[in-house]
Amino acid sequence: MTNVTGLRSNFTPGTTPWAMRRAQWTALGLTPGDMDKPKIAIVNTSSQLASCFSHLDAIVPALKAAIEEAGGVAFEVRTAAPSDAITSAGAAGQYILPTRDLIASDIEVAVEGALLDGMVCLASCDKTTPGQLMAAGRLNIPTIIVACGYQPSGVYRGEPVDFEDIFRFAGHVAAGAMTVEELGEMATCAVTGPGVCAGMGTANSMHLAAEALGMALPGSTPCLARGPAMWETVTRAGRRIIELVGQGLAPAAYLTPPAFRNAVTCLLAVSGSVNCLKHLQAIAVEAGCDADVYALFEELAPLVPLLADVKPNGATQITAFDAAGGTLGLMRQLAPLLDLSALTVGGGTLGEAITAASVDESVIRPLGAPLATHPGIVVMRGSLVPEGAVLKRTVADDAPLSFRGPATVVHSREEGVAAVRAGAVHAGDVVVLTGLGLRGSPGMGLTSALMFALDGAGLTTSVAVITDGQMSGLVNGGLVIAEASPEGAAGGPLGLVRDGDMISIDVNARTIDLEVPAPELQRRRAQLPPLKVPGGCGWLSVYARSVAPLGKGATLGGQP
């Protein structure tokens, strides 16, 4: 279609697309003058199912006004909105990760189908930010990610309590260490407003990553949901997106190998969520960027010290990290390790952006005086996980650095929790939770309930856990290794483990090995039933048939 004003959204007068668009948009109240302006999508992942998203609808009018004042026309479009707290109830949590890719495709259908000129994405819970960034890379039109903030937390019996505590103490109930009534009382106090979990879980980690990638305005993450900083960012983003369209600055200018290196460095410095590895890799794949995120974590982990201990990695509240300088302050401290020539959607380079940062060094430590020097996120390999797995370490890590023990094999989080409650898991065991991978689950089932049950039973530091499922970004503590690849159900070694097999783990060497002779493993593999590929039209069935391996970000890039 002919572009008559430099915008792809404008069609040649008199053509059928021009006439159809004019008829539809006139009915929406647009004037003839509006038809030639930049058309901007406001991507709203709103939902009334969870407090994570419940404030987003109220943000749209202010953002729309800012876009219109800057000379554009705004169209709100909606996407799926998964919440780990709510949408994980059905199908054992299998809908959570696949909805990330559904969000990206939702955006593609609405924005590319209408040939809009740019988009501002309202980012909230865990999968919305990566889904939006994947779409930005795929469509390569001017985009700004607006992090819509963390939720205010509460007080339970005189002590601070947040959503992470609800996760953790639910495991205590399962182990009989807390009553249902006590947990119910705590649950009514933990969340006092909308926004994402108040810790360095996946949501705040991905908000931080979006800024480190240059795709969120400098100084915008993290922020309190509905706080003054969030509203200021909304206005800035509405104005800036029109400038980006005018300048023709698309995500390809920002989603570069140096930008991914910067994002990995920042995540290591705060021991961010392990879920970020597959999300960043997916974004790189969608953007056509030659960045191996897993290799970057392996390379940089020994070089990047821990500069902040935001919950659940330590005692620092997200509010304190925010007040201490947030992501921009963190990047100022990390400046010698970053590529400061990387561009940001705010205009100019990262090096220019961080000059405005102020830092409270008691919260975000300088490179020369870190909180710890051990890696916060460790990519493990070995005969049990030849394509890798991910270990999370806290700032004050009390998990053993080496571990060798007999396997206790379970095939679902429910089976694992039941085993803990029945006393079938003992100190010294290696709990193997298999069958929860991308295709075997399908969708990579959530495994956090098992970890919290072990915590409630007092076994956190005396057992190890290895799974091909995914953890909540709020899980921390103990020797927990997730996202083992290749997955057990697809013939990976994890699916060959039997009760009593010896497994050895060496964190410093970054190895996990299964001590079973090769001939025995071959015998077991020959007895495995073929992976059952689900049929039908359901989303999980479609996902299982098309999902690519973790090394490709678990994108829908074709069956491996």
List the catalytic residues.
Answer: 472
Q: What is the DSSP letter of 30?
A: -
From CA 183, how far away is CA 464, in angstroms rounded?
26
Tell me the sheet residues that pair with 229. none
Closest by CA position to 78, among listed 98, 100, 103:
103
**What does residue 25 show for φ and ψ, rounded to 5 degrees?**
-80, -25
Radius of gyration of the CA atoms of the chain, in A: 24
**What residue type is assigned to position 429 of the chain?**
D
From CA 19, how far away is CA 2, in angstroms rounded?
14
Q: Would you state the torsion angle of the CA atoms of residues 452, 454, 456, 459, taken in this order, to the nearest 10 degrees?
A: -140
Q: Contact, 96 vs 88, CB < 8 A?
A: yes
Q: 251 preceded by cis ω (within 30°)?
A: no
Angle between helices 413-421 and 163-174 (to 10 degrees): 60
From CA 338, how far away is CA 317, in angstroms rounded?
25
From CA 273, how far away is CA 200, in angstroms rounded?
7
262 class by beta-carbon count within 10 Å (0-12 exposed, 13-18 middle, 19+ buried): buried
**What does residue 335 show for φ and ψ, rounded to 5 degrees?**
-45, -45
**What residue type is assigned to position 556 of the chain?**
L
Q: What is the DSSP letter of 241?
A: H
Task: Give the DSSP letter string of 66-92.
Answer: HHHHTT-EEEEEE-----TTTTTTGGG
Match 């696949």 to its residue by tokens. 98
Task: Give the DSSP letter string of 493-538.
Answer: GGGG--TT-EEEEETTTTEEEE-S-HHHHHHHHHHSPPP----SSS
3-state secondary structure of 42: strand
From CA 366, how far away is CA 306, in angstroms rounded?
10
269 class by beta-carbon count within 10 Å (0-12 exposed, 13-18 middle, 19+ buried): buried
**What does residue 277 show for φ and ψ, rounded to 5 degrees?**
-60, -50
